[in-house]
Amino acid sequence: MTKIALITGANKGIGFETARQLAASGGVHVVLAARDRAKGVEAALKLQAEGLDVEALTLDVTDAASIAAAVKEIDKKFSRLDILINNAGIAFQNGSKNVSDETLDVWRKTFDTNLFALIAVTQAFLPLLKKSEAGRIVNLSSILASLRLHSDPTSPIYDFKMPAYNVSKTAVNGWTVQLAYELRDTKIKVNAAHPGWVKTDMGGPAAPMEIVDGAKTSVALALIDAKGPNGAYLHLGEPLPW
């Protein structure tokens, strides 16, 4: 049976490459979700031109009505969802790396997209995921979520302070663990993925990893079998310190 996968924020960057790799893995129909319908359709057409099983879906993860409409459409077409990859996210700053200078507006906007929208989308699609024989939820996190590494002066991210973004991803990890616990006796597995520092609009040109590699962790977690991890925080198969 063909698996149905939904990827948020998938019209470009890591989300787009994740859609490509997941569809290319075989046996997966990918629903490429984007806030801008035109951009989503354009992205889906590119992958369809490569012979991949992909379609576009309009979904603004910060809009309750848009989420509800997306759930209704997936339910009508497929009656279930097998894979949810919460890829949509933002890195928004006011120019300062000082926690004390970051405005509440920046904190709120960052958390609205990176955490609250992720929770809202997951809650909305959970009934459809429960209809799957092997539901998989992948939450895009970051190594910048690691409290242990941020508090270690010898770690590679010690000086990488983007307060609102970092803490929002720490919260995503927390949500991942809590939901994984709730679903521990079900067929659904929930994990957090660090894609790596990737050459995207967010990662910038100085990033050491190519987009093709940045998608690999999400794809692998989307396709884990019954023996795969639940409630883990991983990068390319390796656990990261919380």
Q: Which residues are designated catalytic?
A: 165
Dihedral (Cα; 71, 15, 183, 72), 10-degree rounding:
0
Contact 229, 191 (CB under 8 A): yes
Residues 6+ apart with CB under 8 A from 65: none
Would you tell me how many other CB atoms lie within 10 Å of the CB of residue 92? 18
The DSSP result for 100-146, as a single string, is GGS-HHHHHHHHIIIIIHHHHHHHHHHHHHTTSSS-EEEEE--GGG-
Q: Which residue type occupies 100?
A: S
